[in-house]
Amino acid sequence: MSAIAKPGKIIAVHLNYPSRAAQRGRTPAQPSYFLKPQSSLAGTGGTVERPAGTELLAFEGEIALIIGEPARHVSPAEGWAHVAAVTAANDLGIYDLRAADKGSNLRSKGGDGFTPLGPVAIPVDGIGQGDWRVRTWVNGELVQEDTSDTLLFDFGRLVADLSQHGTLETGDVILTGTPAGSTVVVPGDVVEVEVDAPRATGAPTTGRLVTTVAQGTVAFGDFGSKPAVDDLQRIEAWGSEDAHAAAVAAGRATPLDAEPPFELTEALRARLSSVAVATLSVALRKRGYHDVFIEGVFANHPGDRIVGRARTLRFIPARPDLFASHGGGYNAQKRAFDTVGAGEVLVVDARGERGTGTVGDVLALRAEVRGAAGIVTDGGVRDFDAVAEIGIPVFSRGPHPSVLGRRHVPWETDVTIACGGAAVQPGDVIVGDGDGVIVIPPHLVAEVAAEAAEQDAADAWIAERVAEGEPVDGLFPMNRSWRERYERERDAAASGALPPEEAR
Note whether residue 221 is domain-resident. Answer: yes
Residue partners of 42: CB distance under 8 A and separation at least 6: 48, 112, 113, 114, 115, 116, 117, 211
**Cis preceding linkage at 31, omega within 30:** no
Give the residues across from 212 on adjacent strands.
47, 190
Asked whether residue 285 falls in the same domain as residue 155, the answer is: no
394 phi/psi in degrees, rounded to 5: -130, 125
416-434 burial code (b ≥16 CB/10 A, e <16): ebebbebebebbbbbbbbe
Q: Which pLDDT band, with edges at 50, 70 and 90, does 219 fall under? A: confident
Among 403, 418, 446, identify where a domain stops: 446
User: Would you give the end-to-end CA distance of the chain in angstroms?
Assistant: 86
Note whether residue 100 is domain-resident. Answer: yes
Q: Angle between the 277-286 and 445-467 helix axes, to the nearest 10 degrees?
A: 120
Asked whether residue 335 falls in the same domain as residue 417, the answer is: yes
Percent of the chain with pLDDT over 70: 97
Contact yes or no for 65/9 (Cβ under 8 A): no
Give the residues across from 344 on adjacent strands.
309
pTM of the model: 0.59
Cβ-count burial of 330 within 10 angstroms (0-12 exposed, 13-18 middle, 19+ buried)?
exposed
Residue partners of 183: CB distance under 8 A and separation at least 6: 58, 59, 138, 143, 237, 238, 239, 243, 247
Contact yes or no for 388/303 (Cβ under 8 A): no
- Report, as an integer, the average pLDDT of 213-241: 87
Asked whether residue 160 falls in the same domain as residue 278, the answer is: no
Contact yes or no for 76/42 (Cβ under 8 A): no
Q: Would strands 374-377 and 344-349 be described as parallel, antiparallel, or unpaired?
A: parallel
Q: Residue 94 is part of a domain; what is its CATH number?
A: 3.90.850.10
Asked whether residue 221 falls in the same domain as residue 321, the answer is: no
Lowest mean pLDDT among 216-220, 345-349, 420-424, 426-430: 216-220
pLDDT digits (tens, 9 = 90+) for 10-25: 999 999 999 999 988 8
Lowest mean pLDDT among 102-106, 130-134, 148-152, 470-474: 102-106
Q: Which pLDDT band, with edges at 50, 70 and 90, does 502 fall under? A: very low
> Residue 436 to residues 91, 389, 444, 455, 485: CA-CA distances in angstroms?
48, 20, 19, 19, 33
Q: Residue 377 is part of a domain; what is its CATH number?
A: 3.50.30.40
pLDDT digits (tens, 9 = 90+) for 161-174: 999 999 999 999 99
Give 405-423 as a DSSP string.
GGTEEEEEESS-EEETTEE
Asked whether residue 26 falls in the same domain as residue 130, the answer is: yes
Give the span between the Cα atoms of 183 and 59, in whole angstroms. Answer: 6
Q: Which residue has the higher pLDDT, 481 or 499?
A: 481
Looking at residue 501, what is its pLDDT? Answer: 47
- Report, as an integer, the average pLDDT of 486-495: 81
Lowest mean pLDDT among 281-295, 384-398, 479-493: 479-493
Mean pLDDT score across all residues of the chain: 92
Give the span between the Cα atoms of 504 and 499, in whole angstroms. Answer: 9
Note whether residue 458 is domain-resident. Answer: no
Characterise 367 by phi-psi region: left (phi > 0), alpha (psi -120 to 50), beta (else): alpha
Note whether residue 168 is domain-resident. Answer: yes
Asked whether residue 138 falls in the same domain as residue 37, the answer is: yes
Asked whether residue 342 falls in the same domain as residue 378, the answer is: yes
Q: Which residue has the higher pLDDT, 491 or 335?
A: 335
- Report, as an integer, the average pLDDT of 175-200: 96
- Report, as an integer, the average pLDDT of 181-209: 96
Give the span between the Cα atoms of 79 and 67, in whole angstroms. Answer: 10
Give the span between the Cα atoms of 284 and 470, in whole angstroms. Answer: 30
- Report, as an integer, the average pLDDT of 219-242: 88
- Count of structural domains, the chain: 2
Note whether residue 471 is domain-resident. Answer: no
Check pLDDT > 50 for residue 499: no
Note whether residue 404 is domain-resident. Answer: yes
Q: Is 362 labelled as part of a ligand binding site? A: yes
Q: What angle do CA 473, 476, 477 make, to 5 degrees?
A: 115
Q: Which amino acid is at 257?
A: D
Contact yes or no for 438/292 (Cβ under 8 A): yes
Looking at residue 495, what is its pLDDT? Answer: 72
Asked whether residue 121 falls in the same domain as residue 189, the answer is: yes
Q: Which residue has the higher pLDDT, 211 or 99?
A: 211
Q: Residue 2 carries which DSSP code?
A: B
pLDDT digits (tens, 9 = 90+) for 453-475: 888 888 889 999 999 999 999 88
Note whether residue 470 is domain-resident. Answer: no
Asked whether residue 324 falls in the same domain as residue 402, the answer is: yes
Q: Would strands 41-42 and 115-123 be described as parallel, antiparallel, or unpaired?
A: parallel
Among 193, 219, 249, identify where a domain stops: 249
Q: Which amino acid is at 56?
A: L
pLDDT digits (tens, 9 = 90+) for 415-443: 999 999 999 999 999 999 999 999 999 99
pLDDT digits (tens, 9 = 90+) for 67-107: 999 999 999 999 999 999 999 999 999 999 988 887 789 99
Three-state secondary structure call for residue 109? helix
Give 343-403 as a DSSP string.
TEEEEEE-TT--SSEEE-HHHHHHHHHTT--EEEESSEESSHHHHHHH---EEES-B--S-
Q: Is 345 labelled as part of a ligand binding site? A: no
Q: Secondary structure of 13-67 in the HEC alphabet?
A: ECCCCHHHHHHHCCCCCCCCEEEECHHHEECCCEEEEECCCCCCEECCEEEEEEE
Contact yes or no for 122/114 (Cβ under 8 A): no
Asked whether residue 348 falls in the same domain as residue 242, the answer is: no
Among 190, 219, 249, identify where a domain stops: 249
Give the residues across from 413 on adjacent strands.
313
Give the span between the Cα atoms of 465 and 335, in whole angstroms. Answer: 52
Q: Is 363 labelled as part of a ligand binding site? A: yes
Give the span between the Cα atoms of 366 and 362, in whole angstroms. Answer: 6
pLDDT digits (tens, 9 = 90+) for 354-384: 999 999 999 999 999 999 999 999 999 999 9
Asked whether residue 291 falls in the same domain as residue 233, the answer is: no
Asked whether residue 313 falls in the same domain as residue 238, the answer is: no
Give the residues across from 12 on adjacent strands.
34, 175
Q: Is 360 labelled as part of a ligand binding site? A: yes
Contact yes or no for 75/157 (Cβ under 8 A): no
Note whether residue 89 is domain-resident. Answer: yes
Q: Can you give the residue range of the structural domain that contains 368?
A: 270-446
Residue partners of 197: CB distance under 8 A and separation at least 6: 86, 122, 127, 131, 132, 133, 203, 204, 205
Contact yes or no for 53/219 (Cβ under 8 A): yes
